[in-house]
Chains A and B, each alone.
Chain A
Amino acid sequence: MTMTTQRALSRICTCILLTILVLARTAMPAAADDLLAIRNATNPAQAEVRFSEADLLALPQVTIRTRTEFTDGVVEFVGPLARDAIAFIDVGSATTIHLVAANDYAIDIPFSDLTDYDVILAMQTNGERLTIRDKGPIWLMYPLDDHAELQDPMYNNRLIWQLTFIELR
């Protein structure tokens, strides 16, 4: 085993331990039916907006047909536009979107992604509802095949699944 491999394993173990520690303090959505919560960190006075499954299904549904690194062949993703969901909250001066998954994996994406592309909160793939056992109930999906620039691995890493919380920063 090379030194690099040992260092990587050491980092992974540290990561696992830290994750376990953080897990004890993880806050789940307040209401049992809520799938997603959105908050604007630049405006603490503004109330958090929560979406149930019915709320998200009530928004206009958009279909994206694309391939991903995590699925086989071209898959049909259906769900509301992320910008439609965020429109329920005053964006204010926020420029970044902080997204958190059920396992506390978190990423930041620029706000412009939502205006430049039809990014959706996919809730359905190939006609079937996404479950938590298969990257559901919400998977942030970009129209990767529709734009050459989205073939960059950077956008691959932004396909966060089991999305539960969005914070505007």
Chain B
Amino acid sequence: MRISIGITRGLAAVALLGLMVLAVLGFRAQEKDMQSLRESGQEIIYWSTSQGEAELGRFLAVLGRFALGEPDVTAKTVNRRFDILWSRVELFRQGDVGRRIRSYDSELGIIAELRALLGKHEKAILNISRDDPAELQREILADFTAAGKRLRALSVLVLAGEEARLAGARDAVRSSARLTWIFSMAALVLSLLLIGIMLIETRRYRRMAEESAELAARAEAASRAKSRFLTMMSHELRTPMNGVLGLLALVRQTALNERQIRLIDQADRSGQQMSALLGDILDFSDLQSESLVMAHDMFELRGLARAVEEMFGPIVQREGVKFTIEIDSQAPRWVVGDLTRLRQVLGHFVTFLVDVVGSKDVRLAIARGSNGLAFDIDVAVQGSDQPGWQPEAIFGRGSAHYGDFASDSLGPMIARGLVSLMGGTITLHRPVAGRATLSISVPLELIDGAADCVRIEAGSVTVQTVLAALLRKLARGVWEPGAANQKVTAILMEAGGEEETVRAARLRSDHPAARLVAVGAPRTAGLFDAVCPQPVTAEALVAAISAGAEPQLEVL
């Protein structure tokens, strides 16, 4: 295949080079033609010599008539004709026309003779008079008549020479036209050759592209099959694992001695780890198939900190790890993003630093970043001397790379994939004085000041939960009793019941500026700004709680 490419490329290069050479040769031939045509179109010099003859004839005629005593021919007329004749002879001495005529006269010397003759009789002509002796007039006439014959001889020579030159020019044009035809045919053949080569190459490339596409499709299908298998196996393994964990919980409720309890605790921890690993495999599979979608919910930053703290509570207690979380005073209270995935990212990194790196002191600092939140995980490490210190496990090879990893680096790899999916960055600072910092920056929408939130007043926990989930989906904050910096803009009140009027009045009194929305079918629709019938849809909820929306006084 490589040899074939070399040959076709070589042929194409030769063909192109050939075309260029032919183009140059064709241009040169055309240029030669143009030069020949230009030369053939130049001043026709035999016209100049014949005009000289004519002028000599005119002079002789005027001189003769003057000698015959014609009254309308004066000495001035003769002088004027003499001057014009002089100018004709002068023409043979100057310019390209003169040079070409002189080239024919180099052996004859006719021009020199003419000039000498003009000089010889100049004085006599200038002073010409009817009283001049007849011998002088006859001598002048005889001299110029003889000069006329000599000039005619020059004209004949020039005419013959120019004809030969023009014939040569015509031959040159004919020859170059033939050459141009040959070059054009050669160029045509080469062009056809080039087109042939291009067709062969195009066909070859198309075949290669088809093969590549087929290979890519096969690889994609294999990857999907692997992902499906992973997902399926994770689900399949999780079910019996949950059974094992459930049974362990039941066993713990029976009368057990201390040793048995310790063994069951160990088995439970192993089961929990196995369950977490299965979850990681599922996430890894989702990341690999690019099917993971980030949520866009509003949550309280403290909620995230609390969730991470709860996650590491048992480890802290069991292994004596010092784990602290600090939220900067300038950090916003509310954030819009994916709480679960953020917790997962922080969980994976902290777990890696504690379990693999072996750090016993971890500090998580959360602060406002350039366009979101900045998480700094500061850990006590011993630099490169510490066996577990593997920055490449956290960073992999540049961006998230799922092809090659150590088993311990699955968690960090999932975390990196999630951060990358959120559009964030990870920076690992080299250990200084026994401490290293892992900085994670994630772009998130931050809500400063009092967050607009919606208060839910529902008798049923189910309705409360459904409405809260729906609001979070819509990136709306949910009012929490006793929490600061909350501005209630709307109230969702489960309608109905004996005390509907009393409850509505109380809520109006608590939040006079908020929109009061009835969820379900109210007894007195006039008490509410809007009604959101059950089952509640996202569109209906947005319309009902929006400040500018028209009140929906629908009674079902």
Contacts and interface: CB of A to CB of B under 8 A. Distances in A.
Interface of A: 1-2, 4-5, 8-9, 12, 15-16, 19-20, 23-24, 28, 68-72, 102-103, 105, 131-135, 152-153, 156-157, 161-162
B155 interface: yes
A8 B159 contact: yes
Chief secondary structure at chain B's binding surface: helix
Given A19-B58, A103-B84, A5 B95 contact: no
Given A9-B155, A102-B80, A133 B86 contact: yes
B155 A134 contact: no
A71 B95 CA distance: 4
B469 interface: no
B384 interface: no
B156 A15 contact: no
Nearest to B118: A133
5 contacts: A5-B160, A70-B97, A72-B94, A102-B84, A135-B91
4 tightest Cβ-Cβ pairs between the two chains A and B? A153-B41, A70-B95, A12-B50, A132-B83
B528 interface: no
B163 interface: yes
A69 B43 CA distance: 7
Interface in B49-80: 50-51, 53-55, 57-58, 61-62, 65, 80
A162 B90 contact: no
B87 interface: yes
A132 B80 contact: yes
Interface residues of B, number: 32
Contacts of B80: 28, 102, 132
B46 interface: yes
B372 interface: no
A103 B83 CA distance: 11
Contacts of B41: 152-153
A161 to B, nearest CB: 8
Contacts of A135: 87, 91
Nearest to A101: B84
Given A8-B46, A8-B159, A153-B38, 20 more contacts: A5-B156, A5-B160, A5-B163, A15-B50, A16-B50, A16-B57, A19-B57, A23-B58, A23-B61, A28-B80, A69-B43, A70-B43, A70-B98, A131-B83, A133-B83, A133-B86, A135-B87, A153-B42, A156-B42, A162-B84
Contacts of B84: 102-103, 132, 162
B113 interface: no
Contacts of A68: 95
B480 interface: no
Contacts of B65: 24
A28 B163 CA distance: 37
Given A8-B159, A20-B61, A132 B95 contact: no
Contact of A4 (B42, B86, B98, B163): B163
A157 B95 contact: no
Contacts of B42: 69, 153, 156
Instruction: Identify which of A2, A16, A68 gathers the most chain B CB atoms within 10 Å of its CB.
Output: A16
B355 interface: no
Contact of B54 (A9, A16, A153): A16
A9 B156 contact: yes
Contacts of B50: 12, 15-16
Nearest to B41: A153
Contacts of A4: 163
A71 B98 CA distance: 9
B143 interface: no
A16 B96 CA distance: 25
A2 B163 CA distance: 10
A131 B80 CA distance: 11
